[in-house]
Structure 1
């Protein structure tokens, strides 16, 4: 896919966020503002969703 960026450095927007200490859910802010959400609940929800997808994919295996 020649149209995809192949650089090894993060996009400047992401680098600026990280440099400012905005590292996503652990810091409460990143690309999105997570400060008003329960981090533990979000991680649990993400994990449950992942396992639902894995179980569905496993059921499709021959």
Structure 2
């Protein structure tokens, strides 16, 4: 497994907020899916409310 840094923004109550998170995954697509799942679970956001701009391997 590799470590990926996922950057983007999500829709909060008072507008869009930037985020950066580290995720362990097998490839970039899996890291992207984990990011969507984390924001959906923690913040109750739908995929359309999360805008991932960059997935970078560390």
Higher helix share: 1
* Structure 1 and Structure 2 fold alike (TM over 0.5): no
TM-score (norm 2): 0.31
TM-score (norm 1): 0.30
Higher relative contact order (CA 8 A, sep 6+): 2
Which one has the largest radius of gyration? Answer: 1
